[in-house]
Structure 1
């Protein structure tokens, strides 16, 4: 297959965009060049000359010579508008915007088919780990049993600092933001929303299920207190924010974003700092583990560059699992064993929501249960008490 020349219009010149510009100029075997870069703030001083930039999206979208759009901006709705117009004009697109993809997956899927263009987004999940292409090309959903992982480098960085350096949560978050690891709105990371978007994308490529954000429940790390951290350290455990997609039976898939206690013998115990880790289990190949940097300029830019290179050969996702899927659906009918931390005066109230309680601790202000709870009750408790409780998963029952 002959390789075609790519003329790129780039949207965004932040951490990832500037990283892409640098790595693209070091990729000697890639026949691609950036024609123009759209940015938002004219007054900002940048490390390349002003002639590279424009502030009008149509300086890219209306230029026929530009056959590839790379979208690397924060605003998910503005990003979708760019992606939609680009595909309608017959341009292939590369994006790292997981929120935009998760919120508009069905529309983007339909646009690709309607306009016969490619839309690639490896960088939207797990940074430098090629997990989407592996799920797309390698794993058959008949035999895939589960996928779980650490998919948010920002929260992993924060939790690593807390457990390895005894740093406070606010200080660890501040450092993550200063290093460019955390989202501009940190609750997107710490609340598990970024991880939820990534799980939605993984669901489409692993089990062929297209979801909306409301379909996937997420618990973040923003409410963790010293009580859960002390419990973990006392038992020689860590806490990691994990995403889950487990096949319950031949039709139902369990999905969840939640902090979990991790033992020293877990595959995830050595996934620290901004690294991500994904564990895939199949019926016959057992478990396989992927790890790599999940945040930062060059790791994410390398995934974008890989997609650009693939476009040179007209690569596109085939979405075979979506086309084959007629049976899989998400289920809320499952149980979890968790540590549930809450205010001590509400202990009697919350006890009724648990089917079994193995352990209880309380001081003058806080308390926790360790016990078995249905997912429906966990979801109800979390929705009704968003600010003064936390759940940490011990295991799925």
Structure 2
């Protein structure tokens, strides 16, 4: 079992934010590259520099690059709230600056926060989430980014007033995308158990069986760790690959192999991670489906930080009737390409699955 990372201190978080800020243009700016160096290599270099700085400053708490990236994005979101159910009116659409007045009115009139307190709230940024569409049935939610957590907490302490009033407006904490995806996954698992008349209840990030009070645990576990990949038992399996795609500095490569049990899925994951350069990818997304001898279907997926990608890849396998297969898609990140990344992941994943050797 992998050793749990030590908790982050306030000093570590401050240094992390400062170091990312120094490389903001490199990590998040628009880059086209000069043809000699891949953009994903430039980004990897930036995050490696940040990792090295943190590990040098706090030598007793060695952090992995992926953990550091995840922590930074969580810090960005923890001061945010999402306000839902606020009507979109013409004055706001023509002049987005009116959104500040609308939010101020929500806080004072709907949530009954004193006007003086509202005036002193330090809001870094606020915006409607998503593109405006006049055909949309419900108004777009509003993301409010506070300058510090204490001001967000002031607003969160008043959300009960909205419930007591039965207001159509709802305020919630902006959960990191990783947590939202985990809950979606647990909802899917809960539905599968419900189809088998097994009662469960979702509490936070845990799915609990009502009768036994035990907690659901993924049968595959987390992504294979470095020591498992390097020194684990070697299992010779046939691994297929097919299409490779590059887009704006991003590179996508897929591998697939036949599987018919959870044990085989785990072993095959380790073997795929041993293929050349795969373990160095920014994300290794995977999905699997297989049926046991009694006809029971089993399936699962993992995003590995590419939130929602595993679930979409699994759906693509199901829609194309691909069974008894494990598909791993590796992505080396470049510049932002938006939702195109999901198209690439599904395309290379399906290409590898269709090229998969038939077990003898």
- The higher-RCO structure (CA 8 Å, 6+ apart) is 1
Give the TM-score, by structure 1 length: 0.23
Larger of the two Rg values belongs to structure: 2
Structure having the larger proportion of residues in helix: 2
Structure having the larger proportion of residues in strand: 1
